[in-house]
Amino acid sequence: MKNKSIMIQGTGSSVGKSILCTALCRIFTQDGYRVNPFKAQNMSNNSFITYEGHEMGRAQVMQAEAAGRAPRAVMNPILLKPTSDHKSQVVIQGKVHETMDAVEYFAYKPRLIEMINAIYHELEAESDIVVIEGAGSPAEINLKQDDLVNMGMAKMAASPVILAGDIDRGGVFASLAGTMLLLDEEEKKMVKGVLINKFRGSLDILKPGLDMLEEIIHLPVLGVIPYFHLNLEDEDSVTEWGKFTKQQNGEIDIAIIKLPHISNFTDFNVLKLYEDVNLRFVDLDDELGHPDVIVIPGTKSTVADMDMVKKSGMGEKIIRCHDQGSYVFGICGGFQIIGEEIRDPDHVESSLSGISGLGLIQAVTTFRGEKTTTLSEGIDEAFQCKVKGYEIHMGETVLREGVFPLIQVLSRNGTATNLRDGAVNQDKTVFGTYFHGIFDSAAFTRSFLNQVRMAKNLAPRASDVQDYWAYKEEQYNKLADVVRKNLNMDKIYRIVEAGLHG
């Protein structure tokens, strides 16, 4: 098999397209094929930095890992990062292009189609199978013109399409049949089958509905995927993460402040694996309680979110908790927020020229026009552990007297360097860093948690997580097992082999 593809489209957002594509990437790879993922256009503030220093959507990173490939921006050439309700930062081929509103972007989009076509076919040439992910729904009839991510992409790639629906939210038969109804005749021919995702219950009770659906849409149901729980870094799970609370018998209570423009929430995914941790999100207007650790995450709009933190009263709650013994840990935008001042003289991020921070650490951030995007490694100077992560930020933070850097940065994008990152106060109760993914470094995370434990007069523990990357491999294999068992892979392979016109 050479230069083949399959595309997963959905009846709407968050029906599980990313996870299903991830499963297919792992299954095809297990079966001996060279596989690459592709999504022409992604909208997410949960991005990643490649070894080349390029920015891309996290879902395609997950899919690349499942396929055993190094993530590259060609797998997600357009990334839209919302900066407000009306505007998004447009990242093209891994680099920031400009910020646009919807009207500006749709006017600009026709220029991107030729680029997408060329990039896709270059990726296809080095693959046996390309697993393509759609976005939202192909039945958005007002968005069909110049489409480059659903049926427009399928046409460019000459790819057969599988349509997925989410039964967990209800109305799956109507959503599948309704989507097919709104496709034109050429598009209908491109869809080779449907599948139902997130099923709970008895297949015997569901089967009559499947038979009736096949009669209505004249397409086979290729599988019914059960609802399952795996610890995967899926950017589309932000809705679930926003509701997420991990309550168990953990002795350390960690509260993550749910900023309005939160980004890179996968920074905290690994913390779910630590048995002595209770993990919870806290909205700005919620009661904070008395957590042992307060984490302020990354944000796409630091100044705007700092303003909301103040106006909501959450800023006062954080300061009060710290005065009463809570540790505070800021990541990227959260690092900027815990400082004394955030300056934006050129209005890179906001209409405001600046705003005061929480003042928990003596540091000043100034926004510049150029974005830092690096994959970084170093040694943390609080616990002397190796750490690695990725940096995505417009601001530069300068520490004042009495504040110490948190990390000695030894390499950026594979090039040796000798820089400093982040900050830690003298009594090691306030931490800040630009390293997204720092908690993936198990030795650092356990050292930090043990310091919190000792402050509570609890004995230190050995790390629950020895190798997070091995853990993720295990999760990808479990995902592949679930999907392979419940999807008709013989029919899937026949669809892939026959192609669009088979």
Tell me which residues are annotated as active site. 332, 436
- In one-letter notation, the amino acid at residue 312 is S
Token output for 195: 């599948």
93-106: burial string, b at 16+ Cβ within 10 Å, e else: bbebeebbeeeebe
* CA distance linking residue 166 with residue 236, whole number of Å: 13
Tokens 């168990």 belong to 248
What size, in residues, is the chain? 502
Query: In 10 A of CB 387, how many CB atoms?
Result: 27
Cβ–Cβ < 8 Å for 7, 132: yes
* CA distance linking residue 241 with residue 244, whole number of Å: 5
Residue 351 per-residue DSSP state: S
* CA distance linking residue 392 with residue 434, whole number of Å: 8
| Sequence-separated (6 or more) residues with CB below 8 Å from residue 56 | 42, 47, 48, 50, 71, 72, 73, 75, 76, 79, 91, 94
* CA distance linking residue 198 with residue 174, whole number of Å: 16
Cβ–Cβ < 8 Å for 74, 122: yes
Characterize the bridge pairing of strands 4-10 and 161-166. Answer: parallel
- Phi, psi for 403 (deg, rounded to 5): -115, 140
* CA distance linking residue 306 with residue 309, whole number of Å: 5
Token output for 54: 């390029």
Burial class (CB in 10 A: 0-12, 13-18, 19+), 269: buried
Query: In 10 A of CB 147, how many CB atoms?
Result: 21
* CA distance linking residue 94 with residue 142, whole number of Å: 28
